[in-house]
Every structure is written in structure tokens, then in C-alpha cells.
Structure 1
Amino acid sequence: MPAGEYDLVIRGAHVADAGGAGDGDLAIRDGRVAAVGRGLGPGREEIDARGKLVLPGGVDTHCHIEQLSGAGVMNADTFETATRSALYGGTTTTVSFAAQHPGMRIADVVADYAELARRGAMCDHAFHMIVADTSGDNLDDVARLIEEGHRSIKVFTTYDKVRLDDAAILQVLRVARAHGALVCFHAENDAIIRDATARLLAEGRTAPRDHAASHPRMAEIEALERICRFAEYTGQPVMLFHVSTREGVEIVRAARARGAPVWAETCTHYLFQTVDTLDRPDGAAFMCSPPQREAADVEALWHALDQRDLQLVTSDHAPYRMDESGKFLHGRDAPFNKIANGMPGLELRLPVLFDAMVSRGRLGLAAFVELTSAAPARLFGLTGKGALRPGMDADVVLWDPEREVTYAADDLHDNVGYNPFAGHTVKGWPETVLLRGRVAVDGGTLHVEPGQGRRVPMEKSPAMAAEKP
């Protein structure tokens, strides 16, 4: 064999992706997987991975990065800090939001976010276009941006500054259908939330624990059902974000059984936290929308993942510091409806899920890779990501399946300042992370610089194929 047949060979690992697993070597050339098998030829560099698992890098398709929220609060994370945190957690591709607000031109918004990512991102990335204003030339911009590889659109059915009414939602669905995109929804009924919030405030119920009651499960139920019907009516595929309730799972399952073009996800925190989390003294740290639910909902979500009624688990990384720049922008005694919603999750998603799914055997290794890497890459047309077949990007994570780590209060690599899983012990740890064949993190040390991440254009995936209306 010639010396240095490959750039890098990872030797003696258990190599696995959603398609299968086996013991052997993985070879990398020119940033891509070149071969997988036993007894591969030499590499210019080699890694002894005996006792390790070699898995595809994580793909997190629901992250808020360097974004002004619908409530007017800026995220704590820049592209540099968020993608640094992602890499430490084994995630090599993020899909965050180019967030339009009313009065903004969507083409300018996408260009601005792309420039921020170009300068700061350490891992590969793509964007969802948040469409909050369909006036003027915006829908023409959306059509053009889809053709340029921005094939995902985010729509809100609630929040004053970003929500669309039903007529505008149908317009967006029609444009996506004509050009080939997936339309993602934050689906909660705005009127129900307004009504519940007004009643709670009138009763003097203003604490973080009261946030859950301000987003009752019926708000999710009504909006999910409505969006599923819109998908059926138009034939346009939709992705339902952050399903949190047992009833939501049932709506998705029934819609898919009818043949509706519906996909859906849940998030890490809905699988491990319940509404009781908000009753802690630091409950504001855990506020998110939809809120955490009951133990029975947690079990329903796990079952739905097992049955693939839900296809993804994402972080919904929405970072706000526990100070006046973030959660307490309106003061530390602010009522729940004035406290920023969201928590960090990019770095936590994979280790917490690995512990539950692989170490504790909840769904298994193949399901772990499918739900956190393969399926998000496949559904969103992120070609080259989510698998370890020859020709794929060499986004590779070496996991130590025996290493145990207990999270501390502030040990993440983002800019948020707290860890919502503090005290939680995980077994299984992403020790070495490669991005396109280059070591990005190894032994707790970062080896990449801001701007080394690349934008991944979305190709039209089978999930984006419109059905007959």
C-alpha cells in the first residue's frame, strides 16, 4: 500500500450510522468519507479508536442564534459562541433562523444572517427563513431564495411581531409548493394564549410557574390540527416544531395516517423535564414555549419517537442569560409574560439523548443516529450530512461509551451562563469531533476558528415533494 493512501484513518472502532454498524476502520480523504471496512490502507494520520463508537456528527435543525426574538430580546449567543458549543456537544451542522420582522425585506434579512454566519460560524450551517411579512416583494424574494437553496420556511401562529394570519399562511404554503420547500410551524393558538394570559394576570398569578397555564395544551392542540388540515388542503408538506403533548402526537399520527404531508419533531427538554421544573426558585431559567407538560406527555413523546410518529429530536436552543440582558430585561420581578422564553440546548442534546437511548437502552443506537443526525439531514435536504457512507462529508464523532459526566451549574461553551441540566449525569461522551475530516474538538480542546463553518445549501428532498391538493 502506498504511504498516506488516505488523509486520516480511524482504526478499530465500532462504526455506526442509521443504516447499520460494524467493527472496523473509517478512512477520510479530501474532507469526505473515503472508505469504511476492515484492514484499510494507511493514512497520513491515524487515530486509534479501539473501545470507541464512531458516529456521524449531529444535525440540529432547530436553533436560535444571534437572533432578535419576537418579544424584542436578543439571544445571548453569537454564531461563534453557539457553534463552538455545538461542536463540544458533537453537533457539526446547525440550522438556525434568518428572522424577518414586519417591515423588513426578507432578502436583506437572509443576506445579513448569512454574513454573520460567514464571519463567525465554526460548524456547518443552513437557515430557516422566518416569514413574518408577506407584503410587497417578500413572497417573490422567498421564491428566489428557495431556488438558491434556502428550502425551509418558518411560520409562527402566535407572537405579535412575527405571527401570520391564516390567509398569509396559505400564501406561504402556495409559494413553497410551487418552488419546493418545507414549511415549519410554531403552532399555538394566539387567541387562547392571550385569553389565558389575561385571566392569570388578573388573578395575580405572575410567577414563572404560571407560564405553563398561559400556554394551555389546547392552544397547541387547536393549532396543530389546523396546520395539518392546511397541509392536506394545499398538498404542501409541513414540519411541526416542538410537539409537547400527548394530544399533539395523536393529531400528527392521525394526519399522517390520512396521508397528509406532515412531519414533526419534539425537543430534548420535553423528553426530560415536566411542568414541575417551572416551580423551582430559578424557574425562569426553564421557561419555554410551548411549556413543559406532564409525565404522561413525556412518555407519549418517547413512544411516538419509537414508532416514528415524530421524526426528529432537536434542541430548540434559545439562549438568554439570567440577567437584565436576557431573561430579566424587564426586571427581576417581571411577570411571566415579560420573561424571555427559551434555554440553551445545543451542547446538551446529544449527550443527554445518548445516555437515555444508548447507554440506558431506551431506543437504541440506530434510533439515536436516525433521530438526531440522519433524519434531520434527509428531511431538510442537507446533502452530505447525517451518514458515514463513502462520499459523505467526514463529520465524525468519536464517543467514549463508558465515560460518565455530571453536568455543573455553568460548564457549557456557549454564552448563556447556566446549564439547565446541572446535576444530571450522562454515560457516553463525545470526546473527539471532526468537521469535514478536520479535528474540531479533541480532549476538551477546540481546534477550529470562527468562520471555518460552511453554509450547506438545501437540496429539494423527498419530504419537500408536494402532494396533490
Structure 2
Amino acid sequence: MFSSKTNQFDLVIHNGYVVTASDILPPSVYIGLKDGVIDQISARPLTGKRVIDAEGGYVMPGGVDSHVHLSQKNTPAGDTIESGTRSATPGGTTTVIPFAVQASKDDFDVVSVVEDYHKVADGQAYCDYGFHLIVSNPNEEMLSEQLPQLVEKEGITSVKVYTTYPRYKLSDEQLLDILLSNRKMGVTTMIHAENSDIIDFIGKKLEEKKMIDPYYHSVSRPLVAEDEATYRVISLSKMIDVPILIVHMSSETALSTVREAQTSLVPIFAETCPQYLFLTADYLKHDCHHHVHKNDSFQGAKYICSPPLRQTVKELEGVWKAIQNGTVTVFSSDHAPTVYDHPLGKKAGLVNGVPHYKKVPNGLPGIETRMPLLFCKGVESGRITPQKFVELCCSNPAKMYGLGDRKGSISVGMDADLVIWYPKGKLQPFSLDNSMLHHGIDYSPFEGMEFSNWPRYTILRGNVVWDRDNGGLIASKGVGKYLKRGKSSLGGPIKELDEILA
């Protein structure tokens, strides 16, 4: 298919179904990897220093998990860059994008925030990584001087903002400011959309009635809080005429608002996560049959995340539908865990032995299980095509975050990041236990679920870093490189603004 000057490759993969976001190439295709990139895709046999026979399994691009929280100062009992990325490649993920955080509304020097995060990450990563920036107080100097500097020098081309949490939430006017600034720079805006006043209002009522068990976290953040904020941020983006990505969407109601905007050709993108496909609010109840340790009534705290787990299986089905019909653009883990059995972890929610959902750190682990879950329950069960899987887990996040020239697809010249799955039926189905995972967290919300497949090999820039049958994780930390990113290639053309806003 493609010519190359060499016939001796570092690694050759053959006899697998090669999947991209659009095609599946037959097992007769050979992929030749050289110097860290895909050098040749050929219908003729290729020779290499090492050859992997995929035995009829799927060969896919390495996963891009574009929403992970690692080594964050506000979660001392959370996963680090080291433990989080160590957990990525065994799950088929070769690129992660964690967050550098403007943690205080008074800390206006976001250039230093990024420098500090580089120091934390340097030499620690098992896979490639970029940074997003979380902005909690966008002032004039930051928008006009610092952010352009980060785009130019660091390739940080995405910013996350919140409509909730006292420390992070922005007013509508601040959101408009940052949307306009990001539009001028071509920066992707990620928005956590929940209505904080609704959440505070219900939270006070629950507190008055002493309804503060972990389960009430879900009650305190109802569907309408996500739905209203989704409608509002879409309205703001239309006002500025700029694409946005609404992150970790959890409900059919909010996703239908996105679908409506997309149908009107408004460039709104949606992200969802495994927890909104597989877990309901029942998991937050202390007497839930899913909990392994019956003598611990605080187990539900493990499942506290925002937006919360929803009440019914019907809601989960609605999120599946949004994946199947194309409303959802990106499938991320939102890996934001803390250790359960730790005074600064989930157990921080036990105050003098009394549980309080508001004191429990938010977030679940999921970096390693993200792709296997969607592969087993989506691809192998026939709910989605292998191409849709690649689009959601690899190609779209790469394009969304300015990595479409290197990551997320199998074509000549791209980074040689690949994941090879077992042929269907080859792997004995198994029930997941946390001890099988590589993160630094003492539980997984998906423990006990049955898996029929798992990445057999993960390849990062031409090197096998995970070989499940022969030693498992064989990379050492520090192999991951920082990625300077370009602009999103999913945003589409933007019309000129009115002179008032220009």
C-alpha cells in the first residue's frame, strides 16, 4: 500500500483486524514500526527485529484518555502521575491529559502553576501526556498575556472551567470572558456543567433533616441541575459563537439538550464516562449487595463523583443511546480517585464516626478499566462497532485536543501507539478484582464485573510496554513524554463576531 525505503522494521504486527475510526483492514495487512512511528502499512509480508502475530484479534490505536486528575494538591490521597500512568498502559491507554490547576482564586500566575506541574510530572510517566489548565478566576492579565503564552510555549490548548464548587465556579459573565478569549486563541473550552444554586439549596434541606449518608450525594445533585447548566452553557457558547465540550455528561436529559444543539449545527461536543454507563445510585447505599465488606456501612462513599451516579437503569440506557447515535464525542475516565481507607481519602467523610457526603472527596478510579469496559460491553456485545470504539476512545480525543497529527489513528507517520486485543473467545472470562489493577487506589468501582477481553499488548511509540501473557507491565517510569499540543481540529470554522465583541 505504502512504500518505504527499508524492509527491516523494529517491530512488525500482522494477522489482526486493523481498526481505525472509519475502516477495518483485513488480517492480511502488515504494519511496520520504525523509530517510534508507523512506517509502513502493507499487503505484502514485512520483516522486523520482532514480529507480533495478533492471531485474529483487533489491532487498534493506543487510547487517549483526555480527562484524568493526577498529582493534584487538593487530593493528597489521590493517584500520582506515576501511579496513574502506570495504570494507563495495561488498560490500552498510551496518552493521558491531566490538569494543571489554578487552585486558588487569588493565584493569578498560571504560568508558574504549569511550571510547578511540569516538575511534578517530569520523569514520572509511564505513557505520553499533555496538560489542560483549570481556571478558577480568569482576570484580564491572565486572559490577555498568560494564556496566550501557555498556548505558544507549552502547547496547552485546552482550558477547563466549572459552573459549580465554591473554589472553582465562574459566573456567566466570567464564562463569557473566557469563551471569547479561548475563541480568539483557538483553545478548547471544557465545561463542568451543574447548577450550583440548585445543589446548595437541596444540600441545605438535606442537612437540616440529617440526610447526609453517601447516598444523599446523588439526591443533592438532581438531573435538573445538570440539565439547566447544560442549556445555559450552550446558550453562552452560541452568544460567543464558539465550540465547547461539556465534560462527564451523566444523563439522557442533558444529553438530549446537546443533541438538539448539534442538530441545529451548533458545535457542541459531549464527553461521558464508564460510571454513567454501568453504575446507578444504588451503589451509594450502605446496604447495597455490590459491596464486598458488609460490616462497613460507609462503602457507598467509594462511588461519590460529580455529576453523581443516576437513579435508574433507564438513565444509563439513555447515555448508551447518546453514544450509539453520535451525540457523545469523547469517552474518558474522569479518573479522579482517592484512597478509600485513608483519613484524607474517602474516609474524610466520616466526621467523628458520622458519615457526611459533603466531606467525601469527589471522584472514582477508572483509567485502566475505561477501554476494557467499553470494549467488552460495547464492541463484543455488539452495542457499538469497533470503529465507533476507536473514534470515542482514540481518534476524537486526539483531534479534540490538538493531537490528531500524532495520536489516535493508525496511518503512516503517526506515533506507533497501538493496542492489540485477544481474539474473541481466546481469553477465559474473569471477574475483576482490584489486585489486578496498577493504580495506587485500594478499590475499583467496577470490581466484581465480568470481562471477556483485555489489552493483550500495548505499544508506546514502537515499544511494547504491556504484554499481558509475558510479565505484564514491562515499561519503566519516565518513558512517557510531554506533548506540546496544537489546536483542536474538531472545532470547525467560526463565523466572524459582531464588531462589539471582536
TM bucket, shorter chain: over 0.9
Q: Measure the CA separation in 2 of the matches of 1:7 and 1:183.
A: 39
| Counterpart selection for 2:436 from 411, 418, 421 | 411
Match of 2:160 in 1: 154
| Counterpart selection for 2:317 from 299, 313, 317 | 299
1:197-253 CA-to-partner distances (Å, cap 9, x unmatched) read 010111110101111111111110111001000110001111000111111011101
Q: Measure the CA separation in 1 of the matches of 2:488 and 2:6.
A: 39
Offset, 1:25: 1.7
Unaligned runs of 5+ in 2: 289-296, 498-502
Match of 2:84 in 1: 82
Offset, 1:336: 0.6
Match of 1:325 in 2: 344
Q: Measure the CA separation in 1 of the matches of 2:402 and 2:91.
A: 23
What is the TM-score with the length of structure 2 in the denominator? Answer: 0.90
Q: Measure the CA separation in 2 of the matches of 1:301 and 1:99.
A: 29
Secondary structure of the residue aligned to 1:27 is: strand
Say what the alpha-carbon RMSD is for the aligned residues. 1.7
Corresponding position: 1:177 with 2:183: yes
1:273-319 CA-to-partner distances (Å, cap 9, x unmatched) read 11112113411111110111121211111111111111111101011
What is the number of equivalent residue pairs in this alignment? Answer: 466
Secondary structure of the residue aligned to 1:197 is: helix
Stretch moving more, 216-225 or 31-40? 31-40
1:392-434 CA-to-partner distances (Å, cap 9, x unmatched) read 1110111113312310144311111112111111111101111
Using the aligned pairs only, state the percent identity.
35
Match of 2:421 in 1: 399
Stretch moving more, 392-401 or 45-54? 45-54
Q: 1:134 to 1:387 in 2, by over 3 A?
A: same
Match of 1:441 in 2: 466
Match of 2:394 in 1: 373
Offset, 1:31: 0.5
- Counterpart mapping for 1:19-38 below 5 A: 19-21=22-24, 22-23=26-27, 24-38=29-43
Match of 2:478 in 1: 451
| Counterpart selection for 1:198 from 200, 204, 210 | 204
Secondary structure of the residue aligned to 1:183 is: strand
Stretch moving more, 365-374 or 44-53? 44-53
1:333-371 CA-to-partner distances (Å, cap 9, x unmatched) read 331111111110000001111001121111121111111
Match of 1:241 in 2: 247
Q: Which amino acid aligns with 1:118?
A: D
Q: Measure the CA separation in 1 of the matches of 2:442 and 2:436.
A: 8
- Counterpart mapping for 1:30-109 below 5 A: 30-68=35-73, 72-101=74-103, 102-104=105-107, 105-109=109-113
| Counterpart selection for 1:346 from 367, 374, 379 | 367
Offset, 1:16: 1.4
Q: Measure the CA separation in 2 of the matches of 1:93 and 1:136.
A: 32
Q: 1:211 to 1:2 in 2, by over 3 A?
A: closer
Secondary structure of the residue aligned to 1:450 is: coil
Offset, 1:143: 2.0
Match of 2:125 in 1: 121
Cα pair 1:86 1:92 within 8 Å, conserved? yes
Q: 1:129 to 1:367 in 2, by over 3 A?
A: same
Corresponding position: 1:308 with 2:358: no
Offset, 1:74: 2.9
Q: Which amino acid aligns with 1:12?
A: N
Match of 1:424 in 2: 449
Secondary structure of the residue aligned to 1:464 is: coil
Q: Which amino acid aligns with 1:94?
A: V
Unaligned runs of 5+ in 1: none
- Counterpart mapping for 1:152-301 below 5 A: 152-279=158-285, 280=288, 281=297, 282-293=299-310, 294-301=312-319
Offset, 1:164: 1.3
